[in-house]
A and B are shown apart, each in its own frame.
Chain A
Amino acid sequence: GDSVTQTEGQVALSEEDFLTIHCNYSASGYPTLFWYVQYPGEGPQLLFRASRDKEKGSSRGFEATYDKGTTSFHLRKASVQESDSAVYYCALSDTNAYKVIFGKGTHLHVLP
Chain B
Amino acid sequence: GGIITQTPKFLIGQEGQKLTLKCQQNFNHDTMYWYRQDSGKGLRLIYYSITENDLQKGDLSEGYDASREKKSSFSLTVTSAQKNEMAVFLCASSIAGTSAETLYFGSGTRLTVL
Contact = CB atoms under 8 A, between A and B. Distances in A.
B42 A32 contact: no
B100 A32 contact: yes
Interface string A80-111: 00000000010001100111111111000000
Nearest to A44: B105
B102 interface: yes
Interface residues of B, number: 29
B43 A32 contact: no
Given A41-B107, A98-B48, A104 B40 contact: yes
B48 A102 contact: no
A12 interface: no
B113 interface: no
B42 A104 contact: yes
Interface of B: 4, 31, 33, 35, 40-45, 48, 50, 56, 58, 90, 92, 96-108
18 contacts: A32-B100, A43-B92, A51-B100, A89-B43, A93-B101, A94-B99, A97-B98, A97-B99, A98-B50, A98-B56, A98-B96, A100-B45, A100-B103, A102-B42, A103-B42, A104-B40, A104-B41, A104-B42
